[in-house]
Amino acid sequence: MSDVLNYNPDCLFCKIIKGDIPSNKVYEDDLCYAFYDIDPQAPTHFLVIPKAHIQSCGAVTAEDAALVGHMFQVIAQVTKELGVTDFRVVSNCGAQAGQTVPHLHFHVLAGRDMTWPPG
Ligand code: 5GP
Ligand code: ZN
């Protein structure tokens, strides 16, 4: 179980970080948590989330800059560990963009050809 900064009792991902909802962990440190998506959209599909409850990319502040940079460093490290060289990082911000869980997360997708532009 981990502590969540600004824990939001209504937030699915806060509950996952706390361990109240089980998840398939890929990586964890003091600042962030990574786990496989329950509904994978590619052969490899995991999510990287901050342990602090931040609503979305649109809520990131200057104070979060180091945290967000760290999350990208984690993405680089974990993909290397998984032997993944080609991948896509996606963050949906807001319902129209497809965000369904209002806790900042980066999707990391790999293992198939990706189309552009995304749908
Ligand atoms: P969004 O739609 O907000 O961009 O991404 C949310 C993601 O969380 C979706 O890809 C969805 O499959 C995933 N997700 C939703 N509930 C759970 C869950 O309980 N466990 C896991 N591992 N992933 C989840
Ligand atoms: Zn949350």
Does the beta carbon of 98 lie inside 6 Å of ligand 1? Answer: yes
- CA of 61 relative to ligand 1 center, distance in Å: 24
Tell whether the model's pLDDT for residue 3 goes beyond 80: no
Sorting pLDDT into bands at 50, 70 and 90, what band is 94?
Answer: very high
Sorting pLDDT into bands at 50, 70 and 90, what band is 111?
Answer: very high
Sorting pLDDT into bands at 50, 70 and 90, what band is 2?
Answer: low
Does residue 117 contact residue 26 with C-beta atoms inside 8 Å?
Answer: no
Question: Which DSSP category does 62 fall into?
Answer: G
Residues 6+ apart with CB under 8 A from 47: 34, 35, 36, 37, 105, 106, 107, 108
Q: Which ligand is nearest to the CA of 18?
A: 2
Does the beta carbon of 30 lie inside 6 Å of ligand 1? Answer: no
> Which of 28, 101, 104, 105 maximizes ligand 1 atoms within 8 Å of its Cβ, making it the mutation to test the pocket?
101
Tell whether the model's pLDDT for residue 116 goes beyond 70: yes
Q: Which ligand is nearest to the CA of 6?
A: 2
Q: Ligand 1, closest atom to CA 91?
A: 4
Tell whether the model's pLDDT for residue 47 goes beyond 60: yes
Task: Report yes or no on whether pTM surpasses 0.95.
Answer: yes
What amino acid positions are annotated as catalytic residues? 105
Does the beta carbon of 33 lie inside 6 Å of ligand 1? Answer: no
39-64 average pLDDT score: 98
Does residue 11 contact residue 100 with C-beta atoms inside 8 Å?
Answer: no
